[in-house]
Structure 1
């Protein structure tokens, strides 16, 4: 079973693809999708959509997992993240994927065993669970892998 975790944003979207096989979880790919701030928003969203579709075609996950939208104090940021999240959800729907959404508390609980774990604790556990040579950077990548791990955990079959 393959799961693609996504931490959406207009400027930077983190992604991570993990495979759950025989009770073992492996990272297949992880990185960021960046869009240029000098480009109009509709064009940036189109680019994000096309890049996510290309990743879905390349890695062929059965599931796409995201964190639920967290409302920050900055409404502009929340709207921007919501637009990017919508584009990612559209790409998943076009490819016919199952979609799962988790709260930050659920992701931290699944990855670190504690719903109030720090970002550093979650990053450490992502590295340990996936047996990565180093902590994934930037934070968007580690967050995307964490949500993929969370969904794999919910699917069962490892731990």
Structure 2
């Protein structure tokens, strides 16, 4: 009798261990990384920052999915556009900001064109320094909401840069 109980407990422990390992490995498939690069100045002498983001949605790529992105930024900066890589080429779209929101905007993905077979994609948001501020440090963040099988996964990451980074480029 003891041998049967020990065998059942051992099987349950092995099953739980396998579930934990699979769960941890699948979470690593879903990620977002954000980085800022200074691109110099435009014709109006406004500093330009590009907020690059790469993401992976792992196994969710095989499901019907919707992706909505949003960007938030420090005061003084203004978004100009967002660019998503579709079939290996960046496609530029204007980023419209609501009048009530001066540090937040959303944009939509065409998930069939922007996510490859491995569930990976990339893009960037262009910000210009519209109004100089006394701040010495700035930040921008990207949030992606991926909905697949009626479950929404939220990915977020942010980056920051200092005023010297902008002035020296």
Both proteins in one fold, TM over 0.5:
no
Structure showing the higher strand proportion among its residues: 2
Greater RCO (Cα-Cα under 8 Å, separation 6 or more): 1
TM range (shorter): under 0.3
Say which one has the larger Rg: 2
